[in-house]
Amino acid sequence: GNGAVGNGSVADYSAARAAELRGTIAHHDRRYHELDDPEIPDADYDALVRELRALEAQFPELIVPDSPTQRVGSAPAALFAPVAHRRPLLSLDNAFALEELVAWGKRLERVLGDPADDPVDYVCEPKIDGFAVSLTYEDGVLVRAATRGDGRVGEDITHTVVVIDDVPRRLTLNDPPAVVEVRGEVYMPLAAFAHLNEGQVEAGLPPFVNPRNAAAGTVRQKDPAVAARRRLSLWTYQLGALEGGPSFTSHTETLRWLATAGLPVNPLIETLATLDEVHRFCEARLADRHGLDYEIDGVVVKVDDLRQRDELGSTSRAPRWAIAFKFPPEERTTTLNDIMVSIGRTGRATPFAQLEPVFVGGVTVGQATLHNADQVRAKDVRPGDTVIVRRAGDVIPEVVGPVLAARPEGLPEWAFPTDCPVCGQLLVREEGESDTFCVNVACPARAAGAVIHFASRGAMDIEGLGERTVQQFRQLGLLGHVGDIYRIDWARVGELEGWGETSVANLAGAIEASKGRPLANLLVGLNIRHLGPTGAAALAKAFGHLDAIEAAPEAAMADAPGIGLTIAAAVRRWFDDAANRAVVASLREAGVDFGRIEEPSEPQVLEGLSIVVTGTLQGFSRDGAEDAITNRGGKAPGSVSKKTTAVVVGDSPGGAKLAKARDLGIPILDEAGFVELLATGVVPAPVAVAGGEPPP
Ligand code: IVH
């Protein structure tokens, strides 16, 4: 038609781009399937395939038989003996949104006809982010375990799969079929993954990037003893060939049979009647994905009725009767533009990544902490690298590591700066310490941080004196150290742009009111190393007045209940510093109350208990839940340890916290249990949490 000329150049461009995409995808297929060493996250890979598929849809003449859109995986590596699958292991088409799920439903209708006449039931299964395996049982005995390979021929991995506890050597059936191929996913539970990586780091080996790579790397190596040490697990979800066995009419029946045969079937699987319900199931799994002790990257939706499946059939690549609803990616690649160092209120110099902003885990991430010098070295990330960025649930964004294949030649290693980027003085890292510090007490970054901390909620709680205002006032010379907060020249503030009468009055009032805060809050505000809210409360209770603490010898402090040697030494050292004593003097002069002891408003039923809250609760904000704990004498730390009494889980909890709690056998409570604990101080019987697996 007309426009052929214009289209010609577009088609030329498209052909070139399709060829390029095919090459790139083939490269990544090999990295993933053969080398177990993917360079890019799945989401980036999916984007390449989607682009190619879109081009091929627009220009069908571009489709070639060996296009990655037409086949599955890649040819098996030469390391292990090839195994021909009796029935191919297909891949799945993806849906990334409700509309794509609905479009799939329409395609089903086109083949199956009016759903009023032939209704469809859907089996919804968590999409396990692991390593696909095919297990062959002959007369009920495991004879072979194989990788997917190219879908037709895989590799023999029997030697590493037989050592997995979840993999039965023999099916628990009286009359087992002559031959059955069972398809499933080998995965590494999060606790096992964390444990494995701790060991890798201790041994000076690079950590595994994610549990899936760890599982793949474990199964695809020669030594069964290594595989046995790294606790792997299995979920099974599909049959391949079946000879001399029962005949099934639905997938639900098949799953029930798998379970009867002693094979692990995921307990979250549900059979649903409408795509609306299916979508709700997907949303629910997305919301609590981090409450599981294994990773899932979506939901697999399968037509239940096996006759309907036959009618629908498959393409060479994927069945039409199933679709993978993929969750938004939690890993993406981006450019590491620079590594910078920020100086905190204690002078700690923290390196952080300055990233080309990337949308990951539902937010745009432009910066991520790199924690300390050792972490940067262990990860070997360099400015100019392409890096993998991960943001999972309520966990802060993390730079996982570099994409080494994309590193420009000669890119220099990053060196920790020798001088403080703010004041220019020499940074200090002491023997045996992992952190580097700016030890200059007059460093502006430290001073600003100290003021912001003094005004923060857990300290003097001065509303309106946040980071922006502190920085603005400091730049104008209105504010230097903490003592200056009570000497701000309000007349000058009133002349500043954006500072009307009301805002001045509000901030001045908030500052005035803070003079009456309890001694424990004042102590927290002074920014003494090692002195947190619990230690501050103990000191306040024991000494009753800041002057008494200032005068107390170290030994007297160490004798006080709840104060250890570390805190006593740190407090003494702090007051021995003339600059700090000057701050105290200026607070005293300003009329800050040094002796207010707050009587607890709640019965101290949680004394000595440590309770970790994760996820969103209905009746408490995050701060509210922590206050409820500390007001009753308990501790509310941010992470789970051996000392944790109980873990309270709300919606979208942190997976690492839950996994660790399960690992350590710590009671897990829901909100009702939490309320009971607050009232009684007694840990109620733990409950099963949605999606949670009991500890092994
Ligand atoms: S069914 C023909 N069910 O996802 C159907 N696959 O992206 C083939 N996977 O190759 C697979 N959980 O390795 C199925 N519940 C589940 C799954 C699942 C994870 C993996 C499997 C598959 C890949 C496709």
Tell me the C-alpha distance between 365 and 352, whole Å.
12
| Residue 404 Cα to ligand 1 middle (Å) | 29
* Nearest atom, ligand 1, residue 318 CA: 2
Q: Is 265 in the pocket of ligand 1 (CB under 6 A)?
A: no
Q: Does residue 319 have its Cβ closer than 6 Å to ligand 1?
A: yes
Say which residue the tokens 């080998």 belong to. Answer: 186
Whether residue 236 has its Cβ less than 6 Å from ligand 1: no
Helix (H) or strand (E) holding 307: helix 306-312
Nearest to 164 by CA among 237, 81, 230: 230
The pLDDT, as a whole number, for residue 210 is: 86
* Average pLDDT, consecutive stretches of 10 residues, N- to C-terminus, the chain (696 residues): 45 83 88 80 87 81 73 60 94 93 96 93 97 96 94 93 95 96 97 91 79 91 88 97 94 98 98 96 92 94 98 94 93 95 92 95 91 90 95 84 90 96 93 89 88 93 94 92 94 93 96 96 93 91 96 95 92 93 95 90 89 91 90 88 91 79 89 93 70 38
User: Tokens 């004196």 — which residue?
Assistant: 465
The alpha carbon of 127 and the centre of ligand 1 are apart by a number of angstroms equal to 6
Residue 33, ligand 1, Cβ within 6 A: no
- Say yes or no: CB of residue 269 within 6 Å of ligand 1: no
The predicted pLDDT at position 694 comes to 38
Q: Residue 12 is encoded by which pair of tokens? A: 């030329």
Here the tokens at position 584 are 């105290």
**Is ligand 1 within 6 A of the CB of residue 92?**
yes
DSSP 8-state code for residue 32: I
Q: Cα–Cα distance between 436 and 416 in angstroms, integer?
A: 9
E strand residue ranges, 85-140: 94-95, 122-128, 131-138
Tell which atom from ligand 1 comes closest to the C-alpha of 266: 15
Query: 317 alpha carbon to ligand 1 midpoint, in Å?
Result: 13
Ligand 1 nearest-atom number relative to CA 131: 13
- Ligand 1 mean position to 90 CA, how many Å? 8
Could you tell me if the CB of 123 is within 6 A of ligand 1?
no
Q: Which residue out of 282, 300, 314, 315 has the highest number of ligand 1 atoms within 8 Å of its CB and is therefore the one to mutate?
A: 300
DSSP 486-524: GG--HHHHHTSTT--HHHHHHHHHHHHHHTT--HHHHHH
Percent helix, strand and coil across the chain, each to the nearest 5 = 40, 20, 40
For ligand 1, is residue 132 a contact (CB within 6 Å)? yes
Among 676, 621, 675, 669, which residue's Cα sits nearest to residue 644? Answer: 669
pLDDT score for 42: 85
322 C-beta closer than 6 A to ligand 1: yes
Distance 644 CA to ligand 1 centre (A): 37
Cα(670)–Cα(428) distance, integer angstroms: 45
The confidence score (pLDDT) of residue 56 equals 82
Ligand 1 pocket test target in 237, 254, 317 with most atoms within 8 Å of CB? 237
Q: Residue 289 and residue 236: Cα distance in Å, rounded?
A: 19
CA atoms of 226 and 205, how far apart (whole Å): 15
Nearest to 436 by CA among 341, 531, 570: 341
Give the nearest ligand 1 atom to 314 CA: 2
Look at residue 224 in the predicted model and tell me its pLDDT: 87
- Looking at residue 77, its pLDDT comes to 52
Tell me which amino acid residue 626 is: E
> Atom of ligand 1 at shortest distance to CA of 319?
2
Ligand 1 atom at minimal distance to the Cα of residue 127: 12
DSSP state of 209: S
Residue 278, classed as helix, strand or coil, is helix
What pairs with residue 352 in β-bridges?
A: 340, 369
**Which residue has tokens 């200026």?**
586
Q: Is the four-CA dihedral 685, 234, 173, 302 of positive or negative sign? A: positive
36 Cα–ligand 1 center, Å: 18
Beta pairing partners, 339? 353
What local confidence, expressed as pLDDT, does residue 26 receive? 86
**Of residues 49, 50, 51, 62, the one with CA closest to residue 19:** 62
Residue 298 backbone zone (phi > 0: left; psi -120 to 50: alpha; other: beta): left
* DSSP 8-state symbol, 291: G
Q: List active site positions.
A: 127
The radius of gyration of the chain's CA atoms, rounded to the nearest angstrom, is 30
Please give the Cα distance from 212 to 457 (Å, whole number): 41
- Dig out the tokens for 248 from the structure: 């099934």
Give the distance (Å) from ligand 1 centre to CA of residue 392.
Answer: 22
pLDDT the model gives residue 278: 97
- Amino acid making up residue 387: V
What is the rounded CA–CA span in Å between residue 297 and residue 278?
Answer: 16
What is the token pair recorded at 534?
């619990």
Q: Is 613 in the pocket of ligand 1 (CB under 6 A)?
A: no
Structure tokens at 566: 């570390």
Q: Is 128 in the pocket of ligand 1 (CB under 6 A)?
A: yes
Nearest CA to ligand 1 atom 4: 127
- CA–centroid distance, 184 to ligand 1, in Å, is 8
Helix (H) or strand (E) holding 324: strand 322-326
The per-residue pLDDT for 205 is: 77
Answer yes or no: is the C-beta of 296 below 6 A from any ligand 1 atom: no
Chain centroid to CA 391 = 5
